Structure 1
Amino acid sequence: MKNLKLVAIVFALVFATSCKKKKKEEVTETEVEEIVTEKSTEKKLTISLSPKSDSKVEGSVTFKEKDGIVSMTAKMTGLSEGEHAIHIHEKADCSSADGTSTGGHWNPTNQPHGKWKAETGYHKGDIGNFKVAADGEGIVTLTTDEWCIGCGDDTKDIIGKAIIVHQGTDDYTSQPSGAAGSRISCGGIIE
């Protein structure tokens, strides 16, 4: 009889312990799914910029998208002191020595060229001008809901486009490109 009671107690302990473990595993799996789902809304893409038109301008551009907002940070070296323009162009083709293989400014909504967010219109690729100090380093940042990374919307998707850095400044009025001068650095926006 004592042996039967002992077997019953051992069986009850094993059963209770296995139920607790199973319950903990189920909670852990749910937590992991929530984390994975949350991270799937974030995208990050970094591209390299290469010299064009016999310049020494190189660098990188990082795009991050979260909750429908894209932030861009471009970091460049080898620039001459002063102001330069930076734009998104139509094609991720940096094969030509002068960067013209990228086509014109990315303008999927057929607007006139202008300053970013101008009431008179602007291209989705009209990022604008930035200042460079004597050290030749430049940094540009922009945050917008007008771009996306790989969403498939022809009016927002930056994949398949290119970043172009220009020798001169964008005057924001000359059509169709702001008379920003030669293309001195290029990077295809490719996943």
Structure 2
Amino acid sequence: MKTIALVLATGLAAWAAEQNPPAKPAAKPAGGPVTHAVAVLHPAKDGKVEGTLHFRKEAAGVKVTGKVTGLAPGNHGFHIHEFGDCSAADFTSAGGHFNPAGNPHGGPKDAKRHEGDMGNVEAGADGSATIDYTDNELRFEGSQSILGRGVIVHANPDDFKTQPTGNAGGRVACGVVGVAKSE
């Protein structure tokens, strides 16, 4: 009886192994280093702020371009946040400002600042803001990589001094920085 049970158990195990072959390793991304990333911004609950941002690697840093619409006229804090998680209705799931070096909060031209401190975007009377600047702190590689991080547009202006957030208020849009097809 024990022999029959052992034979049945062995046969069943062999059959199960055939039904569930080992998973294949994930494919490696094709090509060389990342030179272009994109973030599509989505509005907070009941909001209308949206946009698309492009991040392109250049000799002087990363060129950030794009357009954000649906904003109240005026300046709005604009930051890379720790996590690429926009799941919470108020986007707090994106965490705080991306700051791997542990620097104080500041403006985009400050010598010491959070890597994620990108300053303000200025919306005109129509609620749209055009972004076009080069940031020498942003990176696509290593521990300072912005890939997979959240991009947040805030309700209020960043004052560049209040620690640790710049007093920029609530989060009105969120997107995740992802690898884009090179052009």
Give the TM-score range, shorter chain. 0.7 to 0.9
Superposition deviation, residue 125 in structure 1: 0.6
Q: With the length of structure 1 as denominator, give the TM-score of the two structures.
A: 0.72
Q: How does 1:18-57 map to 2 (within 5 A)?
A: 43-57=35-49
Match of 1:180 among 147, 164, 168: 168
Aligned residues: 149
Ranges of 4+ aligned residues in structure 1 off by more than 4 Å: 39-42
Match of 2:70 in 1: 78
Give the Cα separation in 2 of the matches to 1:41 and 1:145: 18
1:147 corresponds to 2:138? yes
Question: CA 1:144–1:129 in 2, change beyond 3 Å: closer, same or farther?
Answer: closer
What do the CA deviations read for 1:32-57 (whole angstroms, capped 9, x no partner)? Answer: xxxxxxx9567222221000143200
Give unmatched runs, 5+ long, in structure 2.
1-30
Query: Would you say the 8 A contact 1:92–1:190 is kept in 2?
Result: no
Identity %: 41
Structure with greater helix share of residues? 1
1:74, distance to aligned residue in structure 2 (A)? 2.8
Letter in 2 for 1:167: A
CA RMSD of aligned residues (A): 1.9
Residue 166, structure 1, aligned to residue 154, structure 2 = yes
Which has the greater radius of gyration?
1
Residue 136 (structure 1) aligns with: 127
Matched, 1:117 2:109: yes
* Partner secondary structure for residue 127 of structure 1: strand
Q: Which secondary structure state, in structure 1, belongs to the residue aligned with residue 35 of structure 2?
A: strand
Q: Deviation per CA, 1:138-172, whole angstroms, max 9, x where unpaired? A: 112231332222x2x10x31112111000001111
More displaced 10-residue stretch of structure 1: 73-82 or 104-113: 73-82
Match of 1:94 in 2: 86
Alpha-carbon offset, residue 68 of structure 1 = 7.0
TM-score, with structure 2 as normaliser: 0.75
Could you tell me whether the CA contact under 8 Å between 2:149 and 2:176 is conserved in 1? Answer: yes
Alpha-carbon offset, residue 75 of structure 1: 0.8
Out of 142, 145, 156, the residue aligned to residue 157 of structure 1 is 145
**Residues 41 and 69 of structure 1: CA distance in aligned 2, closer, same or farther (over 3 Å):** farther
